[in-house]
Amino acid sequence: MAFALRLRDICLNNKLQLQMVLENLTTTMLETLGTSLRGINLSMYVNLLENWDLLFQRFMHNALMDVLRDFTNEAKNKTIGRGSVNDSQPKEGFPVPPHIFLQSPPSANNTKVGAVIEVPLYTKDVHDVGKLCEFKFGSYCLWRKEHREDMKDSMVKKLKGQLFVARAYYPSVAKLPRQDKLSRELKQNIQELERVLSESSTDGDLPPQIAKKLQMMEATIAKAKSFIVDCNNVDKKLRQIYDMTEDEANFHMKQSAFLYQLAVQTMPKSLHCLSMRLTVEYFGSPLNDMELSLAEKYIDPTLHHYVIFSNNVLASSVVINSTVMHAKESRNQVFHVLTDGQNYFAMKLWFLRNTYKEATVQVLNIEHLKLDSHIKATPLYLSLPEEFRVSFLNVDSPPMAPIRTEYISIFSHSHFLLPEIFQNLKKVVVLDDDVIVQQDLSALWSLNMEGKVNGAVQFCSLRLGQLKKYLGGNSYDKKSCAWMSGLNVIDLDRWRELDLTETYRKLMHELAMHEGSSEVVALHASLLSFQDLIYALDGTWLLSGLGHDYGIDIQAISKAAVLHYNGNMKPWLELGIPKYRGYWKKYLNRDDQFLSQCNVNS
């Protein structure tokens, strides 16, 4: 409210100056709010929030520019973090301790956003507020930028601007002696425009005689301007407009971000239909179960075994189909799909009905597994790879440098059961269900991992030292890179030798006593369990970011062995990034009757 306080002083000294400011400012703010809600595209609302100071700078005269300059100077070197768990003000020039904001992992869909992590964030100028959208709301900001729509509402914006100018003058005009007629006229025009605008969001919604109504309002406002009005009333109205506009912009921003999250976190109707139809069909039509005849292949350590954790029939099918399509030899490929009880029968029927060259597919219900080391009283459950959003802004970045946001995905609790689930196997390749394979993966089976356990593509934009607050005082190399799930080569023999599952459980138990969030505990335990045990795969094996990054180079996509759609915008969702969805869709079996019945291909 520093602006409003200074504006009051200016108002008392120069009424005409304030009138010009009021007209320009209110028109601009409320033109912005004139954009209607179409879908959840609220880019104009968000632009108001992000460019608030730019709006002031554009229309304020020289006296108000001094106010803005003072306000900007006060804001320099302060941390901007609305919703931060730490409200204490840091000393100027000192790094701000990182904070963590967590969301519960979804259960209905495979869009596995587990947490949002801030690494030290610095603000060099008040204009950096405009770059905090993705920091606060994640990939929604990327989506809305790409789906911005131009609305035909220029007349609606003009009407709203005139309406709020009239509202600003009305209290003062109503107090003028012997001006009852003007007061009634202004009030009637305000009520008429309010009625029209309550029913109109675009120019096409406006009544035919709207131009005449606008002329009447302009004439009435011109009369009001000819009188000396109470500057305090105008100041009060300006304060109200300021507060109301910011609150409304914040509300619509949060509302649209929520609707976006709702769309990406819930299962689409078509996929729900597919799962239900497959489940009903499984119990309605007898099929030959080939489990017994394939039992030996499931445990043969000489074959190439791939593991997929998934509750999504379509996604896991695409992973398997793309892997087999590019394999030089599919006969030695065995896929193990671990799912939950809700999706088990749908998965079972799908992979009984569909074949993938000569590859073998086994579907396991993780809830029914009998593991020796697992406590019988504690039920097993499927947990999908945990995904975290990490935002960066280095202190030495240029003033207008954007905040860089990345997504990393790591193993969940279920992954640490691999050595117990596959006791007869020596090595497996773990594939997330949001990947597609573009090249033969057989070379992964001949890797010399030099005693390491987890072959993964490293994510060196994020070092463990940057997560010191979350990883605690444990002994680890602060320069070590984080690593990505998506494509992981796991040496199960070495895992058992080091008893990493027990290491993970101990870390989970110790951390759970001190940390309040299970997601923080999972991040901590997963990263530290593999400390110094990551074998770095060449970066061309896995290209991540197709679920949030609109700017990935096409050549990089064509060269990558595996494409990873990590992020919210999964390829099976309508909100998936269109130019990347084609890579995924070509591995769908479009002729399948269940896909047609559930409109999956539409």
The Cα 85–Cα 575 span in angstroms is 31
Residue 473: what pLDDT? 62
- Calpha distance 574→570 (Å, rounded): 8
Whole-angstrom distance, CA of residue 271 vs CA of residue 268: 5
> Phi/psi of residue 315, each to 5°?
-65, -45
For the chain, what is the mean pLDDT?
76
Q: What is the dihedral of CA 274, 275, 280, 282, to 10 degrees?
A: 100
| Distance from C-alpha of 441 to C-alpha of 447, rounded to nearest angstrom | 11
Instruction: Report the interhelical angle of 62-75 vs 15-32 (nearest 10°).
Output: 60
Decide if 331 contacts 301 (C-beta within 8 A).
Answer: no
Instruction: Please give the domain boundaries of the chain with CATH numbers for all domains.
Output: 2-76+141-264 (no CATH), 269-597 (3.90.550.10)
So what's the pLDDT on residue 516? Answer: 60
Rounding to the nearest 10 degrees, give the CA dihedral for residues 208, 211, 217, 219: -140
**Longest C-alpha distance within the chain, in Å?**
100
Q: Which pTM was predicted?
A: 0.71
**Phi and psi angles of residue 41, each rounded to the nearest 5 degrees, phi first:** -90, 100
In angstroms, the CA 520 to CA 522 distance is 5
What residue ranges of the chain have pLDDT lower than 70? 1-132, 135, 289, 373-378, 392-402, 404, 469-475, 515-517, 601-602
Chain segment 210-236, per-residue pLDDT in tens? 988 889 999 998 998 888 777 777 778
pLDDT given for residue 138 in this prediction: 75
What's the CA gap between 405 and 129, in Å, rounded? 15
The whole-number pLDDT of residue 142 equals 78
- Amino acid identity, position 387: E
pLDDT digits (tens, 9 = 90+) for 473-493: 666 777 888 899 999 999 999
